[in-house]
Structures are given as C-alpha cells and as structure tokens.
Amino acid sequence: MDDLHMRPATAGDLDTVLAFWKTAAEGTSISDDRDGVERLVARDPEALILAERDGELVGTVIAGFDGWRCHLYRLAVHPDRRRQGIGSALLAAAEDRFVTLGGRRGDAMVLERNARAHHAWRAAGYTPEDQWRRWVKHFTD
C-alpha cells in the first residue's frame, strides 16, 4: 500500500467526493450535497479522509469526533479497487485520528441490507450492537 496516499479533504475536493459517492457509496444521505459536505469540512477539516492512488480518488471515510464519541460514515471504496486493502487503510487512518483525539470507541453507520459491508466491518473488528436502534428526525424535507 505504499502507493496509497491518505489526506484530509479540502474545499476543492467536494465536487469530486460527491461524484465519487454516487459510484462507490451504498445509498444516499440527506447530507450528500455540496452544502452538507462544505459544512463538514469547515467544521472539522480533518474528518473527511481521502485515499488516493496515482492522483485518483479511490476511497473515503468520514471520521467524526464530537468530543464524546467517534463516528464513522461514508466508508466507500471504488468498486474497481475493492479487496485491495484500501478500506482497511482508511479505517486505520480514522482510528489513529480518534486515538489521537482521545476517543475510546468507534461506531459506524452501516445499512442493514449491505451484506458486503457487514463482512468488511466484521473483518475490521467491529460488531453490531443489537440492543441499540437508531432513531432519526429530519429537520428539512
């Protein structure tokens, strides 16, 4: 993985990231727009981690830390680049960030229907917690 470069996203990367997620991410989110990603990068410039190979975006993860908990979102690897260790490298970068910030436990948003992702998360040492259920309220239409 010596040719894999990790770096935080900048404002100049946002259109590329949004286009990448349409190809590589499972499902869409209410926050998958330029305003949402701009707010993320402005609020926490180190949270959106990009993996590049030969200058091409091949993976992303959002490693958000609110001072209390470590949250992982948008772990996505380009379909043509999967099973090459990119997802593992992104998670390692996210976990290093969390440890540096004082985080103690990471959690991930993983769609129930995304069985491929379940295998990847389990392989990385994450397990589902059946006693928890996500409760959601949308603030916009």
- Percent helix, strand, coil in the chain (nearest 5)? 35, 25, 40
pLDDT in the model for residue 119: 87
* Structure tokens given for 83: 């099973």
Contacts of 110 (CB under 8 A, 6+ apart): 117, 118, 121, 128
Three-state secondary structure call for residue 43: helix
Please state, in angstroms and rounded to a whole number, the distance separating the CA atoms of residues 124 and 86: 12
118-122 average pLDDT score: 88
In this structure, of 56-70, 93-107, 127-141, the range with the lowest mean pLDDT score is: 127-141
Checking if the pLDDT of 39 tops 90, the result is: yes
Task: Output the pTM of the full model.
Answer: 0.90
45-52 average pLDDT score: 97
pLDDT, one tens digit per residue, over 6-21 is 999 999 999 999 999 9
